[in-house]
A and B are shown apart, each in its own frame.
Chain A
């Protein structure tokens, strides 16, 4: 596989999450209850001290080198926690300010999507490190 295409699919996966947040804000459509994509993304944001194949596997589509590198480059531990909290708040019907959390999460996710698209459009040192498959 064209290694760079992994950045495009990362951008598209992030967009799928963002679109569900937009639907929530604009149409009050709740996020899907069991969303594998969102769960994998949340796992990729969780900072665990352990390094294991299992933690990578739990990250699903976000456990590959390109996704991890882009996420780590853009978000420090604090930002990851903040985004996780916002996404959990939107998913929890009893949480306060759900709409405001969704709007903030959209802004953060847009930054991630933009960075992934940048790496897709500009093959450079980062993508040279990446894997082809």
Chain B
């Protein structure tokens, strides 16, 4: 055996040793405690098989010593890229194992998944959940998990990653929450973008970019700048698509959650352009002010604006404010100067005009949900004011089980506009107490989550009949 091949075997054995403990973690049995959602089992099962194939590939290496030194070196390089790829997937295994059924907002996730599966071409989509240590929400893009897993599969002759499965990360502390978790549909939408609509949207962006950046002779640096401009516009447009999609799915609750997450209520209060980064288009996201402006446009187009425009809460004021000032947005200084000089934000605004129409056409109109919300939110408020779970309510038209979008938005409306009424109904509780407000907001979230769970059960029993 030559020295080069001995090195290949040594490095293969090192990688084998690295993967063995990971293989044990991925071998999750559906009959053991703790329990997971079906999609999480699918994720673990895929990794379990893929790691098995990787170990087999490594074990088979001694049978194929190459006589070419170039290939021997290349195989060592391949072991390195395999290690890095498994190192990348390694990051998500423990956070996914931590997200068992007791540590995720199960009923809310089920409700979101049901809503998503009603969207044309998304009927098969499923989401495994993992926990994030950051107070943030994230979807692992195709590039971060699926493609890496598939490239590993290509190297070790494994199977493709389940095509309809993706991973959504939520803060580990928010398993019992409702309101902030209304950001999850935005993350789900990233998968829809990548798997379904991305190519069409990117084509449109290229068409618009062609107008602002027509073909010309130029240096390699200019080519690099154009690639950055194209990357930035596509990144921002994808974020806006996900916002609009989330609003189509669950209504203004997404905007309210986003306003809470970004502490955006302060934007309008400060009133000074330079006092906040909310006006800046950054390397990863469009300006918050631009996003809220587009939220308002979409809410209006769908018919949600009418029921909420008279609310006195800060997110509604924020939407009005952002509509007035959205033209004051600009590029963040973190974007390099050469690119900043050439990037015309009008490309983004033109793409968004097209996107507003595109999302309205692609995602079914929630017209019945809005009408139901109009008809039912006052009744739901009356139930919540008396600390009653609004699973079944009595309206003018009879007995109703409010749908998830109606429940979530009515719950949000109640906490924004009427929480004081609940506190006044309870002895020794004060609407001026932060602790009482926090405690009863949590209770309120649990009541709505219970109603969501009941809705699923009631609907299933209705379907069974």
Contacts and interface: CB of A to CB of B under 8 A. Distances in A.
| Same complex | yes
A54 B215 contact: yes
B74 A18 contact: yes
A9 B140 CA distance: 14
B148 A12 contact: yes
Contacts of B85: 8, 12
Interface in A1-41: 1-3, 5-6, 8-9, 11-13, 15-16, 18-19, 22, 25-26
Nearest to B147: A9
Interface of A: 1-3, 5-6, 8-9, 11-13, 15-16, 18-19, 22, 25-26, 49-57, 63-65, 68-69, 72, 103-104, 106-107, 110, 113-114, 117, 120-121, 129, 131-133
Contacts of A54: 206, 210, 215
Given A25-B68, A72-B220, A114-B77, A129 B336 contact: yes
Contacts of B215: 50-55
A104 B234 CA distance: 37
Contacts of B218: 49-51
A112 to B, nearest CB: 11
B216 A51 contact: yes
B296 to A, nearest CB: 25
Interface in B35-66: 64, 66
5 contacts: A1-B143, A8-B85, A53-B209, A68-B223, A68-B224
Nearest to A22: B71
Interface string B204-235: 00100110011111111011101110111011
B274 to A, nearest CB: 24
Contacts of B220: 72
Contacts of B224: 65, 68-69, 72
Contact of A49 (B217, B235, B238, B336): B217
Contacts of B144: 1-2, 5
Given A53-B210, A69-B224, 5 more contacts: A1-B141, A5-B148, A8-B84, A52-B214, A63-B230
B459 interface: no
Contacts of B143: 1, 5-6, 9
Please report whether the interface of chain B is mostly helix, strand, loop or mixed according to DSSP. Answer: helix
Nearest to B69: A103
Interface residues of B, number: 49
A56 B231 CA distance: 11
B352 interface: no
A49 B222 CA distance: 11
A56 B230 contact: yes
B155 interface: yes
A53 B147 contact: no
B227 A25 contact: no
Contacts of A63: 227, 230
Contact of A53 (B75, B78, B217, B230): B230
Contacts of B121: none
Please report whether the interface of chain A is mostly helix, strand, loop or mixed according to DSSP. Answer: helix
Given A53-B206, A121-B84, A103 B283 contact: no
B70 interface: yes
Given A68-B223, A103-B71, A132 B154 contact: no
B334 to A, nearest CB: 9
A44 to B, nearest CB: 10
A131 B232 contact: yes
Contacts of A25: 68, 71
Nearest to A11: B81
A16 B88 CA distance: 18
A56 B213 CA distance: 12
Nearest to B238: A133
Given A55-B223, A56-B230, A110-B77, A26 B66 contact: yes
B53 to A, nearest CB: 15
Contacts of A49: 217-218
A109 to B, nearest CB: 8
B80 interface: yes
Contacts of B151: 9, 12-13, 15-16
Interface string B91-124: 0000000000000000000000000000000000
Contacts of A16: 151, 154
A8 B71 contact: no
Contacts of B81: 11-12, 15, 113, 117
Given A5-B144, A53-B206, A132-B235, A106 B71 contact: yes
Contacts of A104: 70
B150 to A, nearest CB: 9
B328 interface: no
- Identify the interface centre among A1, A9, A68, A110: most chain B CB within 10 Å of its CB: A1
A54 B226 CA distance: 11
A41 B402 CA distance: 53
The 6 residue pairs across chains A and B that have the minimum distance between CB atoms: A52-B215, A51-B218, A132-B284, A12-B151, A133-B235, A1-B141
B227 A19 contact: no
B277 to A, nearest CB: 15
B217 A51 contact: yes
Given A12-B85, A51-B216, A117-B80, A133 B73 contact: no
Nearest to B202: A57
